[in-house]
Structure 1
Amino acid sequence: MTSIPKPLSPEDSVRLLELLGSDDDFRTLFQANPPAALAIVSEAAGKASVDCSSAGALASKEEFQAARSRLLSHLTSEGAFTLPHCFVSGDVDSSLSRKPRP
């Protein structure tokens, strides 16, 4: 049984997007091990992401910066990792308008 993903706090969401949009070491860790990377953001973010896995190549820093406001809204209002492809290169912004599959 998997738990229902919970939204990240506004503070954790801002920090996550800052790191994904600027920090190469964090981005490398996030691509390889999202839960370990999220644990750097905060203990709560790490716990919220235990079932998180990468769905493809991580979006560029520029893609994260361009979609920041939409991603921030998504992370704080919905389960943080219900849409793992929302961080995938080429899909970071468009995936936010799709609903996850049941």
Structure 2
Amino acid sequence: MSTEKKPLSLADALKLFDLLTTDESFRADFQASPAIALTQVSSDAAEAAVECSMPGTLADVSTLVAARDRLLEQFTTQAMFSLPHCFIDGSSTPST
């Protein structure tokens, strides 16, 4: 298993986005452990997030929907957690 962060396939990115915006159970799982939650997307997606964690509280569904195109581009062109703050709600600054 590699710890190198890789972009997701378009199919995996779309499935992730769908789950993040429609499935409250998945959102809770993703908040707790992205890599474990991403096993619901694919083994490749789970492996891409093996060393990743959420740096804050997951953004609400409407915020994610508003950022859909930017998130899908981020997921498929860069490593999913190369900019981990793309998932958080932004109401507070995460500690470093």
Work out whether 1:72 is the aligned partner of 2:72: yes
Structural mapping, 1:59-98, within 5 Å: 59-90=59-90
Moved over 3 A (4+): none
What is the SS of the residue equivalent to 1:21? Answer: helix
Q: How far apart in 2 are the matches of 1:90 and 1:60?
A: 10
Task: Report 1 or 2 for greater relative contact order, CA contacts < 8 Å, sequence distance ≥ 6.
Answer: 2
Per-residue CA deviations over 1:51-84 (Å, capped at 9, x if unaligned) read: 1101000000111111011100011000111111
The one-letter code matched in structure 2 to 1:64 is L
Structure 1, unaligned stretches of length 5 or more? 92-102
TM-score (norm 2): 0.88
The one-letter code matched in structure 2 to 1:73 is E
Number of positions where the alignment pairs a residue of Structure 1 with one of Structure 2 = 90
Structure 2, unaligned stretches of length 5 or more? 92-96
Sequence identity (%): 46
TM-score (norm 1): 0.83
RMSD after superposition: 1.4
Q: How far apart in 2 are the matches of 1:68 and 1:29?
A: 20
